[in-house]
Amino acid sequence: MDVSKAPEYDVVGVGNALVDVIAHADDGFIHEHDLVKGSMTLVDTDRALYLYQALGTALEMSGGSAANTMTGVASLGGKAAYLGKVSNDDLGNVFGHDLRAVGVQFRPGAPEADTPTGRCIIVVTPDAQRTMNTYLGVSSLLQPTDIHEATVAAGSVLYMEGYLYDRPAAKDAFRHAAAIAHANGRQVSLTLSDSFCVDRHRDDFRALVSDDVDILFGNEDELLSLYQVESFDAAVAAVRADCHLAVITMGKDGCVVVTKDEVLRAPAEPVAQVLDTTGAGDLFAAGYLFGHTRQRSLGECAQLGAIAAAEVISHVGPRPLVELKTLLP
């Protein structure tokens, strides 16, 4: 393969393609439909379709962790593409339209018969609590044949979402995508997504990080879970031995950037009022990778990540409400 060809995209994301279905309702709706207020529950097809019908009027917008990150890259002025599975249904159309509308190239995998597009049904009560019921649907059925090889080869950095890692076929798809990226002289990044996700796949994640990942994203809890150690310093030492570059977020305490040669601490960006932390890690990764693909310093990349994260936690919803490029220093 031609590894000298200039990349067409800054970042290519692979993840669970979900549509957020957001509706406001009172506590009566929560009780009537036996929802656990403030929780996130995985549901099956019948339950997802039942709740979708019961909600009535709702706001529908594309979601999913890696898709949020690609939206952030585009908002910063970068070029992004996204790979994920949706079906030929109304929500599948919503997902593709929303990504393309913000400038993200969408390469959907092949639909599966009778398996609807994944969705996260979010009920917002008057006290601002978000009760989520997630149906992964066709998004979780990603397999190697769904990886659009030319798109992966054209991205400077491949960004893969740990949430997707539950099925053997998805693991194979990750390895396949990473192999394509490296064969074309590109870098591979992974976000650990969630400490419970790490608990389920620790050995596989450890192997993936040491063998295939150039840039690792995670938070403090996820890193401690990955290496099963008690102290953050021990986790940093472990990831330093495994990975070329790791970026560990620590909420209001900023982040730690770990390389073979140094450990850099960088502050968070001040926020007047935190309204919703959903998407903070997704947008931090967008800012960091945007800087990374422009050969900015480690500290500058961390600052761009902090700026993007600060914008998204200052309002409700996991995607920026302003063009992030207008906030850049």
Calculate ∠ Cα 72-60-32, nearest 5°: 130
Under DSSP, is residue 58 helix (H, G, I), strand (E, B) or coil? Answer: coil
In whole angstroms, what is the distance from residue 314 CA to residue 172 CA?
37
Q: Alpha-carbon torsion 215, 18, 220, 299, what sign?
A: positive
Share of the chain above pLDDT 90, in %: 76
Q: Percentage of residues in the chain with pLDDT exceeding 70?
A: 99
Supply the pLDDT for residue 4: 58
101, with CB counted inside 10 A (0-12, 13-18, 19+), is exposed
Please state the domain extents for the chain: 9-16+64-114+138-327
Pairing mode, strands 245-249 and 255-259: antiparallel
Tell me what the mean pLDDT of segment 62-83 comes to: 96
Q: Which 3-state string (H, E, C) describes 112-146?
A: CCCCCCEEEEEEECCCCCEEEEEECHHHHHCCHHH
**Assigned token pair, 147:** 């990886």
Cβ(43)–Cβ(134) below 8 Å: yes
DSSP 145-162: GGS-HHHHHTEEEEEEEG
Q: For 12-16, 19-23, 180-184, 255-259, which range has the lowest pLDDT when averaged over its residues?
A: 19-23
**C-alpha distance from residue 23 to each of 41, 168, 205 (Å):** 16, 34, 35
Structure tokens at 169: 């076929």
- Given a cut of 60, whether residue 3 has pLDDT beyond it is no
CATH class as words, domain 9-16+64-114+138-327: alpha beta
Q: What average pLDDT does the segment 139-155 reach?
A: 96
Please tell me the predicted confidence (pLDDT) of residue 185: 96
Of 320, 297, 300, 299, nearest to 310 by C-alpha is 320
Quick count: other Cβ atoms within 10 Å of Cβ 50? 15
Q: What is the average pLDDT value for the chain, to the nearest integer? A: 93
Which pLDDT does position 174 carry in this prediction? Answer: 93
With b meaning 16 or more CB within 10 Å and e meaning fewer, what string describes 256-293?
A: bbbeeeeeeebebbeeeeeeeebbbbbbbbbbbbbbbb
| DSSP label of 94 | H
Which pLDDT value is given to residue 167? 87
According to the model, what pLDDT value does residue 60 have? 87
**How far apart are the C-alpha atoms of 272 and 253, rounded to whole Å?**
15
The sheet carrying 18-24 orders its strands as: 40-42, 130-135, 118-124, 18-24, 59-63
Structure confidence by residue, pLDDT tens digits, 5-55: 899 999 999 999 999 888 889 999 999 999 998 887 889 999 999 999 999
> Residue 206 pLDDT more than 90?
yes
pLDDT band, residue 275 (cuts 50/70/90): confident
